[in-house]
Chain A
Amino acid sequence: MSAVTATISEDKMGTARAKPAQRDEGARLGFRLTLPAQVLVLFISAFPLLMQLYISVTDWSPLSGIGWWNAWEMWNSFANYTDLAADTRFWSALQRTAVVMLVCVPAEFLLGLALATLFADDFPGKRIFYSILLMPMMVVPAVAGYMFFMLFQSGGPVNDILSRVVGGPVTIAWLSDPTLALIAVMIADIWQWTPLMFLILLAGLVGVPEDQMKAATLLGANAWQRFTTIVLPKMKTIIIIALAIRVIENFKIFDTLYIMTGGGPGVATETISVYIYKVTTQDLIWGYVAAIALAILIVLSIVAVYAMKRLAAARQGA
């Protein structure tokens, strides 16, 4: 497939001057250079997908005592998929993932945008503030999980700050209350990923031409009008990209959350990744996990293709 692509596609380097022999050489080299990446992609996509598809229609588990290739002996005629449709724990995990996303991503976006606006022009200390504000996104997420686990203990620093504000002892059991635990993990996510929004949005904000802003000011536009009529339209693509990245990554939310609460108390903070992890490692019903995973992959692929098309259309329009 890629060999064909390589030969029919145009030689991008010096096409006009290159002799036919050189062009063939380029195509051959291009094929060889892309080969390792192609092999790795195939290795991690095609074969695993087929394996997943195969296992997903069986009751196979690593404890079944037969190899996965013999899983057909445990064929269960799509029972995994019908089970999935009726699996309330799965649906509530999906719903919870959506709630976390709908709180965290807008919060990160708005906070990041507000910060980016403050950093749009130069002021003393800008560089050092900028570097420090970016730090959370570079902290290993698992370590951030341990950090927030400590912070939210009932005798921990968060309650200590609250008790100083209130003026009396505060002993809220953050991580063992279903609602508060969810809030705590969302706070950790917002703490860690607002800097990413800030970073990307600031890069976009700097690209807004200043003469247009000046002209608008002369025409009597106030700050809010300038923001909505000049800045936001210019930043449309960048905003879409920033939101898309966070939506994708937030959907996978696992590390910090799992370390802080383990999905608990009960299933109160169990998101889709945590749910799959638990079924994989505790219940060990891998046939079922394969079915869940495939269902998610298919839905995500459809969403991705649709989003890519929309983005490409938006770019052409712009």
Chain B
Amino acid sequence: MKRSVPFEIFRYAAILAAMAVTLVPILWMVSMAFKPIGEWSATGADLTWWPKHPTLANFQFVFGHSTNDLIVALDHTALKPILSSLLSAVFGTAIAMSAGTAAAYGLSRFGSGQNLPLALIQLRLFPPMAVMIPVMIMWAFLNLNDTWWGLALIYGIVTLPFAFWLMKTFFDDMPREIEEAALVEGCSRLRVFTRITLPMMRAPLASAALFVFILNWSDYLIALLLTTREWVTIPVYMASLSSSMTGQLYGAKAALGLIAAVPPVIMGIAIQRHLVRGLTFGALKQ
């Protein structure tokens, strides 16, 4: 439809306003991450919006090289929390994707597990806080507390609904002709699934896995409850970046926050096409 000139002006004005609101908080964090201590600790009238003397000192600080600016030193560097976030998110994604993909195929092709769609939606509905008492007791009993593999297991379960629903809609959409042809040729159904269906679904599988990874990587509450010292994840570790002497270490927090924020944003843009499907449990496709 042809739009009038005033409408176009209004549209760009509104979009630019929305862009400003969207970007200011993000750019503020980016700016803080590259500011030296004198600038990130400034308040009020001394506030600088963009670093006057950009520095990598904040990144060096969280990775353990002491900086001359800061008198405080860290007990633990950010390396292990980053490793913990990575391992738990990657293996959590692997658990959710393998169980979810297999179950989705079982339901989509053979009608098995009719209870799963609703059960998994209910799993997503409940606030994690309302089921964490038994999980904390069970995890303590299984010696899974404060380990990345314990986190990976609960992440795998928490994000299973997304993996299952996403893959189910992908399988439902997939044409059956090739699979049927292979069956007629005498392939076993398991062979059809592993040798024909899965390779054909490589792209959807990758998108779903990235989506699930973003969710796992974004967790805070579960890691806060299940990890205490050894395997804390990035967001939990960030709370320790303050000291009684210097107060909040904004520069260090911003630097680590930036490191944590970049991967999901890039992945999210990469799988933009499938975001709607993922977020609505496949109810909507773009």
Taking Cβ atoms with an 8 Å cutoff, the residues of A that contact B are 1-2, 5-6, 9-14, 17-18, 22, 25-27, 29-34, 36-38, 40-41, 43-45, 47-49, 51-52, 55, 68, 114-115, 118, 121, 123, 129, 131-148, 150-151, 153-157, 159-160, 169, 171, 191, 195-196, 199-200, 203-204, 206, 210, 213-214, 217, 238, 241-242, 245, 248, 251-252, 254-255, 258-259, 272-273, 276-277, 280-281, 286, 289-290, 292-294, 296-297, 300-301, 304, 308
Partner of B110, one of A1, A6, A141: A6
Partner of A12, one of B15, B45, B108, B125: B108
7 pairs, A vs B, C-beta closer than 8 Å: A33-B193, A136-B22, A140-B234, A151-B25, A200-B280, A203-B286, A258-B220
- The residue on A at minimum CB distance from B286 is A203
Taking Cβ atoms with an 8 Å cutoff, the residues of B that contact A are 1, 3, 8, 11, 14-15, 18-19, 21-26, 28-29, 32, 42-45, 47, 49, 95, 98-100, 102-103, 105-116, 118-138, 156-157, 160, 164, 176, 179-180, 183-184, 188-190, 193, 214, 217-218, 220-221, 224-225, 234-235, 238-239, 250, 253-254, 257, 260-261, 264-265, 267-269, 272, 275-276, 279-280, 283-286
- The residue on A at minimum CB distance from B112 is A30
Name the A residues within 8 Å of B28 (CB-CB). Answer: 147, 150-151, 157
Name the A residues within 8 Å of B136 (CB-CB). Answer: 280
Partner of A138, one of B15, B179, B265: B265
Q: Closest 10 A-B residue pairs measured CB to CB?
A: A155-B43, A30-B110, A30-B112, A48-B134, A142-B235, A34-B113, A33-B106, A37-B103, A9-B111, A138-B268
Whether B18 pairs with A115 at a CB distance below 8 angstroms is yes
Whether A12 pairs with B109 at a CB distance below 8 angstroms is yes
Expressed in whole angstroms, the Cα–Cα distance for A22 and B111 within the complex equals 14
Whether A37 pairs with B164 at a CB distance below 8 angstroms is yes
Whether A29 pairs with B129 at a CB distance below 8 angstroms is no
Whether B47 pairs with A203 at a CB distance below 8 angstroms is no
Contacts A34-B113, A160-B47, A280-B225 known; A200 to B284 CB distance under 8 Å? yes
Name the B residues within 8 Å of A11 (CB-CB). Answer: 110-111
Whether B15 pairs with A142 at a CB distance below 8 angstroms is no
Whether B110 pairs with A27 at a CB distance below 8 angstroms is yes
- The residue on B at minimum CB distance from A295 is B130
Whether A142 pairs with B114 at a CB distance below 8 angstroms is no
- The residue on A at minimum CB distance from B258 is A143
- The residue on B at minimum CB distance from A170 is B44
Q: A155-B44, A248-B125 are in contact. List 12 more A-B contacts (CB 8 A).
A: A6-B106, A13-B189, A17-B180, A31-B106, A33-B193, A34-B112, A114-B14, A134-B269, A191-B21, A254-B220, A290-B133, A304-B122
Whether B102 pairs with A37 at a CB distance below 8 angstroms is yes
Expressed in whole angstroms, the Cα–Cα distance for A197 and B24 within the complex equals 20
A80 to chain B, nearest CB (A): 12
Whether A132 pairs with B112 at a CB distance below 8 angstroms is no
Name the A residues within 8 Å of B26 (CB-CB). Answer: 135-136, 139, 147
Whether A143 pairs with B261 at a CB distance below 8 angstroms is yes
Whether B112 pairs with A141 at a CB distance below 8 angstroms is no
Whether B25 pairs with A29 at a CB distance below 8 angstroms is no
Partner of A13, one of B134, B180, B253, B268: B180
